Amino acid sequence: MIGIDIEQEKIEIIRKYRTLLRHAKPFLQSDDAKLIRKAFNIALEAHKGTRRRSGEPYIYHPLAVAHICVDEIGLGTTSIVAALLHDVVEDTDIELEDIENDFGSKVASIINGLTKISGEFEYGSSQQAENFRKMLLTLSEDVRVILIKLADRLHNMRTLDSMPRNKQLRISSETSYLYAPLAHRLGLYAIKSEMEDLVLKYTDGDTYIEIIKDIDATKEVRNRFIKRFIRPIHKELNGCNFKFEIKGRPKSIHSIWTKMNKQDIPFDEVYDLFAIRIIIETPLDNEKSACWKVYSIVTDFYKPNPDRLRDWISTPKANGYESLHTTVMSNDGQWVEVQIRAKRMDDIAEKGYAAHWKYKDTAASQESGLEQWIDKIRELLQQNDMSAIEFITDFRSNLFQEEVFVFTPQGDLKRLANGSTALDFAFEIHSEVGMRCLGAKVNQKLVPLHYVLKNGDQVEILTSEKQKPSEDWLRFVVSSKASQRIKEGLKEEKKVIAAEGKEIMLRKLKKLKIDPNNENFDKLRAFFNVNNQLDLFYKMAKGFIEVKDLKKFKEDSSKVNGRKKIGKITDAKSFEKEITKIRKRKEDILLIGEDMDLVDYKFAKCCSPIPGDDVFGFVSVNEGIKIHRTSCPNAPELLSNHGHRVVKAKWASKHQEAYTVGLEILGTDRVGLINDVTQVISTELKVNMRSISVDTDTGIFEGKIVLYINDSKHLDILITRLELVSGVVKVKRFDYTPDDEPVKKQA
């Protein structure tokens, strides 16, 4: 073990603290430095002797979080104090009352929002979701809770190397599922981009490294191109006496990866790898005209693409983002995105919500979009009858949505989520208007409730006192507000019916000798595919669930599938306990291929993993452990909401089975192409095919082949060999999902 130099660490702690104070100095008031010093000393003493997984003193973490709050978000003294103390209540003997006595109720309230809920949780519930909801509840009082949490999460992602693999996956998935979208919604683009890049690093490390290498390899060429591109613009802006700065920046690794996946293209075909940003210093009342003047200068030199003009200056995004975007054709025949904005706009784009306060007095109207969104979230938070998981799902629907801009009959602008209907608009006006909505007039024409609104529509809502909400309405609203109000309107009647259904179900369960406990109700919910117990009892009362269905549930629950299953597994901890007991050694990892006789596990149909894939196990409610690929489309949600049910898993070296995998082959059609492809598969590499389908159209060959593969290395060799076949342009894997359980046979 490497020796620890305690004295050197003390020097480093003081250095980090002084750097923090120096960076915060521009906005510190008279006694602020003393307050920060007091918070630092308390945190230093509270975390004394505690170390992070990396071996570093724990105090490095709160200091780093405070640095991010100052340098990257632009927060002040209260946030610095809260950041330094954010873990003391959760991890040490210090109580919330102590914080309130020393630093006041505001700091105590922020730290309370950042402190995880302790204690046991019901089987089937989500501690992660409960903690996230608790943190968001403080949003109604102080947005700084969320901003400090984002700083905390960013530092955790930056230092994730020292964590075990299952925790890397869980923390990365939470970040992509909740925190990166939240940073985006609050306008923190730099933090959102870095979070997404780090998520890719830990969920698909090979791709992450590949893209970095490709970016580095093209750096010199790119820099030369940027210099040539901006030279005439720079000269003209100087001639017009603009005070300005021009930056050329590559796209984030994650956005390049997203584009490669979405358009199904390799790195060298991603043409808009970078954007040029022009930032001008100009008075507030001159910003708009100055930005359009710069746009005119840019388009004097380069031809713009009329379909790629985005004016977020006239109509800012809901998170406050303002900028003028255009894509122009360079003299080299390459498309380049150009972003034009004022210095104030750039501050808001980089530091989001926190930057609004800096300009609040001079540009109060500019923050209305963000304030409106936060008001909507506050309304959502007041609905306490949702489960935490339902809350998170609802909350997420408010994050990564594009917007549609529509007008009232009086000409007032309303921002709604893209895909909103006339009924969403009615609820946006007022809950009672929504509940009584009969129809709408859009641009003076009658339209039904489910009419999807388009930018520029002028909407008038028609109401009737006799109108009542129906369950059908839930199918064509996209906003949380509308959905919640409709559910509330339906819930009272539903509760009465569900109460009858509960009595019926309890009688039936008693007859079938099924214990009516929470665990069995969770299994019943999973079996009948309903979200909550209210829906379960409602279905029972309405006759959608019959006695024969309950009997089928009992039979399925009691099946052992001929395996000697180890004891009861409900989460990762119980799995570790049982697997350690049976192996007679401390181990918490599922060995796929060797543990089939010990543990009831299956391969998830949603991603069809094969040996060699990076995988994890997930303890399902009533189907044992499901094995998922880390790149599975369902992974972020599973890992974010139910991290306590994630089990480490790896392929056993003795594994000798073949798994079904799908390959898509694209190429130019020619005589004998299919024969050459099947020759490589069956004759050269001795791979068995399950099915093959081929489609040719105007000289383009598209084939889908399902094969039996031993492992991912076997698959890589096959793909490489197929790509060498004359006429084949591209070969890629797709997730083959058979109708029944994935086929396995001896290789």
Nearest to 20 by CA among 57, 56, 72: 72
Q: Could you give the C-alpha distances from 544 to 25, 27, 511, in angstroms and in order? A: 66, 63, 19
User: Which residue's structure tokens are 């501690």?
Assistant: 127
Q: 3-class SS at 692?
A: strand
H/E element, 29: none
Q: Are 35 and 77 in contact (CB under 8 A)?
A: yes
Q: Are 439 and 462 in contact (CB under 8 A)?
A: yes
Q: Are 420 and 404 in contact (CB under 8 A)?
A: yes
H/E element, 327: strand 324-329
Residue 440 gets the label, from left (phi > 0), alpha (psi -120 to 50) or beta, of beta
Distance CA 609, CA 615 (A): 7
Amino acid identity, position 53:
R
Give the angle 42-47-53 at the CA atoms, nearest 5°: 150
Burial level of 28, CB count in 10 A (0-12/13-18/19+)?
Answer: middle
Q: State the CB neighbour count (10 A cutoff) for residue 497.
A: 16
Catalytic residue status for 571: no
Nearest to 111 by CA among 62, 174, 48: 62
Query: Which runs of consecutive H residues, i.e. helices, occur in 138-175?
Result: 144-158, 165-174
Distance CA 112, CA 501 (A): 40
Phi, psi (degrees; rounded to nearest 5) at 304: -85, 155
Query: What is the total residue count of the chain?
Result: 747
Catalytic residue status for 194: no
Q: Are 353 and 72 in contact (CB under 8 A)?
A: no
Phi, psi (degrees; rounded to nearest 5) at 525: -60, -45
Alpha carbon 214 to its chain's center? 26
H/E element, 649: strand 646-651
H/E element, 278: strand 274-281
Distance CA 559, CA 557 (A): 6
Distance CA 303, CA 465 (A): 56
User: Which residue's structure tokens are 């019916």?
Assistant: 497
CA atoms within 13 Å, Cβ hemisphere of 503: 5
User: Which residue's structure tokens are 């009329």?
Assistant: 306
Q: Are strands 335-342 and 274-281 parallel, antiparallel or unpaired?
A: parallel
Q: 3-class SS at 432?
A: helix
Q: Are strands 445-447 and 274-281 parallel, antiparallel or unpaired?
A: unpaired
Distance CA 672, CA 40 (A): 74
Alpha carbon 104 to its chain's center? 34
Q: 3-class SS at 202?
A: helix
Annotated catalytic residue: which of 90, 281, 546, 723?
Answer: 90
Q: Are 644 and 127 in contact (CB under 8 A)?
A: yes
Q: What is the token pair recorded at 204?
A: 């698909």
Annotated catalytic residue: which of 91, 236, 535, 637?
Answer: 91
Amino acid identity, position 608:
S
First to last CA, the chain: 45
Nearest to 578 by CA among 517, 621, 627, 625: 625
Active site amino acids: 90-91
